Amino acid sequence: MRRITTILLCAAAIILLTSADKNKKANHQDGGYPITPVQFTSVKVGNGFWGQRLKASREVTIPLAFSKCEETGRYENFVKAAHPSEDNKVGGLAFDDTDVYKTIEGASYVLQTYPDKKLEAYIDSVLVIVAGGQEPDGYLYTARTMNPKHPHEWSGEKRWEKVEELSHEFYNLGHMVEGAVAHYQATGKRNFLDIAIKYADCVIREVGLGPGQVDRVPGHQIAEMALCRLYLVTGEKKYLDQAKYFLDRRGRTANRDPYNQSHLPITEQDEAVGHAVRATYMYSGIADVAALTGDKEYIETIDRIWDNIVSKKFYITGGIGATRHGEAFGKNYELPNASAYCETCAAIGNVYVNHRMFLLHGDSKYYDVLERTLYNGLLSGVSLKGDGFFYPNPLESAGGYERKPWFGCACCPSNICRFIPSVPGYVYAVKDDDLYVNLYMSNTLTQKVKGKDVVLRQETGYPWNGDVNIIIDKNAAKSFSLKLRIPGWVRGEVAPGGLYSYADGKSLSYKVLVNGEEVSSDLDKGYFTITRNWKKGDKVSLHLDMEPRIVTAREEVEADKGRIAVEMGPIVYCAEQPDNDFRVSGFLVGEKPDLKVTDGDIVGHPVKKITLEGRYFTHGLGKGEMIVRDVTATMVPYYAWCHRGAGYMAVWLAKDFDAVEVAPSEMLM
């Protein structure tokens, strides 16, 4: 520990890789997709819901992650790799390097909104250590390099030997590239980007179908999507070609296993199977290549798989991965609640997939899935303070879950560390003279439309209310089209695919005003389009009716039969023990529940709570006796559960008596 601290301090004082290279820009390309995402560098998030989340990430999660990298020997691994020896002990996991890359990625996103010279110098000092562990030809995998004669047990005796199994050499490359591109975009510095390019070039030289190359695909996917990102930032087509090679060869090499989606060539796959994180990273890569090349087979493939997920394998929280066995997708409609795995990393992967599907097709339904996952199955993975984490995210608990300060396998907290600060990059997109507004949060956008500067502001209390104001602060583009996403939840659709539906008979509405006058538009793929010659000070007001709703699942979902869920806007709710003096499994919702919204807070964070009436069933002391009492259940946002101690929790509540689990006698509780 002391050794690493000294190295970091010294490195920060003698940085040679930073300022001198600051003006050496890569050949950055903004386009490539049919629709272009607006980079995180163009969006400054203000106060409000996401401002609080970004603040927690900046002040708590990222410093915590950096400290864990130091405490757990992540940095030490690179120091050992710089000085390989048979005396170096190789421990931990073969992908521990990625925790360093992911934390730098998250910190880079933060730097864009909150410039911090001290943090920037710290990152540069870490990158000096990372560069020291890179071999001369670009190979960077400390689990082998630190002790080549006795590498990590997952690594194999030579490079790429076990990359289709557990070595994670390509997985490490993927996270390195993702972090390096974010760092370059945020700072303009090439010190991390050049490290990543050097390793990517090493892989391209050694892996493929040419003479002297080995034919291998990633055992844990992510390199595919990362290489596409590297192609976009450098303009070097070889990176896109390598991504496509990895995908084309899947199911055609020695490894054939549904666990990592190598059971069939990808263009023959039509169902989401296996490890959910590996799957979503690969599906993101397929969508990337489909969008960037126009490959029809790839487009048809990812469309089929996406449809399978949303119509048969998708939790109401947006979580995916039904079973702990293999951290994997289950069978169609297999969506258990108490044993749901729903790994945080898989929710992040689900966001990646749906973002790319939108960039490919321009349909708001992909953002409906993305938003649901973002506010529920993903955000539940990190505490409100930013210092506690879930690995799995079940939809029901008998009290056995609690948030952890970190994990030995730290993929989820370090993934949250990099994802939350990247949220500004998901708000907007552009295509020609269309400016898409996909997420609603307080922010300021500075972006070119038709090559001209446009600045606009969002002011909103979303997701707690459905009122959004968009003010034009600057417009040099004159006429352009503002495309507002009208969420599926206000249009009567819980989620695309028909897996869930509203069961309360309500019909919500929305309206759009420009400078106080209501305007109309036919929806195009879920978007309300306003085209006009915008002037400074123009104000668009969007109102979305936001009321609590009752949701049911298709009959094929056995786990949800006779049950209802409650949501409001994009937020899914749950009932948990701290708010209710009874076991929620013994609660039966009333025939016509009156859902009421109240203001509340959880550990100092404001939330909207929902109450509904029903009956509570417990066994009495006498033989066959049952006690029934009228009760009011209080529900809180699912993402905020388990902040007040471990206890009972359920998203799905019984509406039929057959679904009630009669509680033990209250005298015995």
Distance of CA 159 to the CA centre of its chain: 31
**C-alpha–C-alpha distance, residues 10 and 494, integer Å:** 55
326, with CB counted inside 10 A (0-12, 13-18, 19+), is middle
The pLDDT value recorded for residue 400 is: 87
In the predicted structure, residue 13 carries a pLDDT above the cut 70? no
In the predicted structure, residue 225 carries a pLDDT above the cut 50? yes
In the predicted structure, residue 22 carries a pLDDT above the cut 80? no
The pLDDT value recorded for residue 606 is: 96
Which runs of E-coded beta strand occur in 301-413?
A: 396-398
Print burial letters for 488-501: b (CB count within 10 Å at least 16), e (below 16). Answer: bbbbebbbbbebbe
Q: Which amino acid is at 155?
A: S
In the predicted structure, residue 668 carries a pLDDT above the cut 70? no
Across 307-334, average pLDDT: 97
The pLDDT value recorded for residue 8 is: 52
Q: Please give the share of the chain, as a percent, with pLDDT higher than 90.
A: 91
**C-alpha–C-alpha distance, residues 121 and 10, integer Å:** 11
In the predicted structure, residue 17 carries a pLDDT above the cut 60? no
In the predicted structure, residue 10 carries a pLDDT above the cut 80? no
Any residues with CB less than 8 A from the CB of 19 and at least 6 apart, and which? none
Model confidence pLDDT, tens digit, residues 494-513: 999 999 999 999 999 999 99
Q: pLDDT-based confidence at 27, cuts 50/70/90?
A: very low
**CB < 8 Å & 24+ apart, contacts of 68-73:** 68/99, 68/406, 68/410, 68/413, 69/99, 69/100, 69/103, 69/126, 70/1, 70/4, 70/5, 70/8, 71/1, 72/96, 72/410
Model confidence pLDDT, tens digit, residues 450-488: 999 999 999 999 999 999 999 999 999 999 999 999 999
Q: Of 555, 628, 557, whose CA–CA distance to 590 is shortest? A: 628
**C-alpha–C-alpha distance, residues 550 and 595, integer Å:** 9
The pLDDT value recorded for residue 245 is: 98
Across 94-101, average pLDDT: 97
Within 10 Å of residue 374's Cβ, how many Cβ atoms? 25
For 187-248, the DSSP string reads H---HHHHHHHHHHHHHHHHBSSSTT-B----SS--HHHHHHHHHHHH--HHHHHHHHHHHH
The pLDDT value recorded for residue 202 is: 98
In the predicted structure, residue 573 carries a pLDDT above the cut 70? yes
Residue in this structure with the two tokens 């506690």, named with its chain if needed: 388
For 33-70, the DSSP string reads SSSEEPPGGGEEE-SSHHHHHHHHIIIIIHHHHHHHHH
Q: Of 321, 427, 336, whose CA–CA distance to 381 is shortest? A: 321
Any residues with CB less than 8 A from the CB of 451 and at least 6 apart, and which? 477
The pLDDT value recorded for residue 15 is: 41
In the predicted structure, residue 52 carries a pLDDT above the cut 60? yes
Model confidence pLDDT, tens digit, residues 147-186: 999 999 999 999 999 999 999 999 999 999 999 999 999 9
In the predicted structure, residue 9 carries a pLDDT above the cut 80? no
pTM for the predicted model, two decimal places: 0.95
Q: Of 231, 240, 262, whose CA–CA distance to 249 is shortest? A: 262
In the predicted structure, residue 24 carries a pLDDT above the cut 60? no
In the predicted structure, residue 650 carries a pLDDT above the cut 90? yes
In the predicted structure, residue 665 carries a pLDDT above the cut 90? no
**C-alpha–C-alpha distance, residues 514 and 469, integer Å:** 10
Whether the bond between 218 and the residue before it is cis, its omega within 30 degrees of 0, is: no
Structure tokens at 573: 């709710």
Q: Which amino acid is at 318?
A: G
Q: Name which of 109-123, 214-228, 618-632 the model is least confident about.
A: 618-632
Model confidence pLDDT, tens digit, residues 238-282: 999 999 999 999 999 999 999 999 999 999 999 999 999 999 999
Q: pLDDT-based confidence at 295, cuts 50/70/90?
A: very high
Model confidence pLDDT, tens digit, residues 330-367: 999 999 999 999 999 999 999 999 999 999 999 999 99
Within 10 Å of residue 232's Cβ, how many Cβ atoms? 23
The pLDDT value recorded for residue 666 is: 64
The pLDDT value recorded for residue 31 is: 56
Q: Which residue has the higher pLDDT, 666 or 542?
A: 542
Phi and psi at residue 257, in whole multiples of 5°?
-145, 125
**C-alpha–C-alpha distance, residues 453 and 450, integer Å:** 8
In the predicted structure, residue 302 carries a pLDDT above the cut 70? yes
Phi and psi at residue 218, in whole multiples of 5°?
-65, 135
Q: Of 198, 315, 276, 291, whose CA–CA distance to 243 is shortest? A: 291
In the predicted structure, residue 21 carries a pLDDT above the cut 70? no
